[in-house]
C-alpha cells in the first residue's frame, strides 16, 4: 500500500469501532466473504428499501448509502441491518457529515435500521470531530502496519465475514 493511495473511509470507521484487525484487512483490500449471509442480507436491505431515495452515492472516497433533498436541505443516510453496533454506525455517519463539512457541503444525516423500524437523526459536534480525527489517525497507523493486529475473540466474531482470515 502506498501512502498516497490510502484514505480513511466510512467503512474503515465502521470497522474501527468493532475490530482493529478488520480495519487492517479492509485497508489492504482483503475483502470479506461476499457470499456471507450477513453481507448478502445487508446488500438486499440496502438495495430494496427506500426506493425513492438515490442509492449509493460516491463523493470522492466517501460512499453514502442514500441521499435525498428534503425541504431544500441535503439529507444523507446510512442503512444498517440491525442496531447491534449503533455506536459504530453512528460514528460512520458522523464521519460522512465531517467529510461533507470539510468540502463545504451542508447536510443533515440519518441512520436507518429498517428491519427494526428505527431511524435515528445523527449530528456532528466538536467532541465527535475530535474523536473522528483521533480515529482517522489510528486507522492510518493500523493500515500502515506490516501485518494485521492479532486476532481477538469478540462477540462480533460469530457473524463476521472475515472469520476465515482469523480462525482458519
* pLDDT at site 139: 97
pLDDT in tens, 56-96: 677 777 788 888 888 989 999 998 988 888 999 999 999 99
Strands 73-79 and 108-113: parallel
Q: What is the pTM of this model?
A: 0.83
Higher per-residue pLDDT: 148 or 50: 148
Dist. CA 28–CA 25, nearest whole Å: 5
CB burial string 151-163: b at 16+ within 10 A, e below: eeeeebeeebbbb
Which is more confident, 50 or 152?
152
Which residues, 6+ apart, have CB-to-CB distance to 64 below 8 Å? 10, 56, 57, 58, 76, 77, 78, 96
115 pLDDT higher than 60: yes
Within 8 A by CB and 6+ apart from 151, the residues are 21, 166, 167
CA–CA distances in Å: residue 79 to residues 16, 23, 112, 139: 18, 20, 5, 23
Task: Dump pLDDT digits (tens) for 55-67.
Answer: 667 777 778 888 8
Question: What are the structural domains of the chain?
Answer: 3-167 (3.90.320.10)
Phi, psi of 79 (to 5 degrees): -110, 130
CB-based burial label for 87 (10 Å; 0-12, 13-18, 19+): exposed
Amino acid at each position: 500500500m502506498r501512502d498516497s493511495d490510502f484514505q480513511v473511509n466510512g467503512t474503515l470507521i465502521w470497522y474501527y469501532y468493532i475490530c482493529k484487525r478488520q480495519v487492517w484487512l479492509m485497508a489492504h483490500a482483503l475483502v470479506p466473504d461476499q457470499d456471507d449471509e450477513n453481507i448478502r442480507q445487508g446488500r438486499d436491505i440496502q438495495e430494496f428499501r427506500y426506493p425513492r431515495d438515490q442509492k449509493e452515492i460516491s463523493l470522492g472516497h466517501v460512499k453514502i448509502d442514500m441521499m435525498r433533498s428534503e425541504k431544500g436541505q441535503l439529507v444523507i443516510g446510512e442503512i444498517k441491518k440491525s442496531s447491534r453496533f449503533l455506536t459504530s454506525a453512528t460514528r460512520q455517519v458522523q464521519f460522512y457529515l465531517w467529510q461533507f463539512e470539510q468540502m463545504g457541503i451542508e447536510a443533515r444525516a440519518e441512520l436507518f435500521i429498517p428491519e427494526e423500524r428505527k431511524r435515528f437523526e445523527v449530528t456532528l459536534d466538536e467532541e465527535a470531530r475530535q474523536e473522528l480525527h483521533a480515529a482517522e489517525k489510528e486507522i492510518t497507523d493500523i493500515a500502515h502496519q506490516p501485518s494485521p493486529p492479532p486476532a481477538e475473540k469478540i462477540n462480533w466474531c460469530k457473524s463476521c465475514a472475515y472469520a476465515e482470515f482469523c480462525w482458519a
